[in-house]
Amino acid sequence: MTNRLRTEIQEEVEAEKKLVVEEKTVKEIPDNFLTQFLTKGFITTEAATKALPFVLYVALLGMVYIGNRHLAEKNIRDIDKLTKEVKELSWDYKSTKADLAFKSTLTEVEKRADTLGIKTSMQPPQKITVKEDEQ
């Protein structure tokens, strides 16, 4: 029994040795500009460090440009809003002016005064003169 067990164990060990482990093949990356740029590093650390202030300056200019654009668009929206408001107020002014001109006509004033009990005088106006006493 012992031999049989040993032979089975040895067979299993030999079978394990015979197992071929398949290694995955690594795909080769094509040698183009982008891969060379990213892997081989055309830009050295020293060059990147030297270029950093310029990159930050360009980024700052970009942010200022974007902020300026937003501010300009906000101003345009405000101007459009105020222009509409001025037009509405102009229309209100013109309609109020026309209404006041209509209500200040003689016939309209007479109609409104009639409700208060005031009537138009039929006699022409008289001139009042004051005599000064001589002293």
Domain that holds residue 96: 35-116
Provide mean pLDDT across the span 114-134.
85
**Is residue 35 within 8 Å of residue 29, measured between CB atoms?**
yes
Q: Mapping DSSP to helix (H, G, I), strand (E, B) and coil, where does residue 114 land?
A: helix
In a domain, 108, yes or no: yes
In a domain, 135, yes or no: no
**60-115 confidence digits (pLDDT tens):** 999 999 999 999 999 999 999 999 999 999 999 999 999 999 999 988 888 888 88
Has this prediction a pTM greater than 0.85?
Answer: no
The full 3-state SS of 9-60, as one line of letters, equals HHHHHHHHHHCCCCCCCCCCCCCCHHHHHHHHHCCCHHHHHHHHHHHHHHHH
In a domain, 106, yes or no: yes
User: What is the number of domains present in the chain?
Assistant: 1
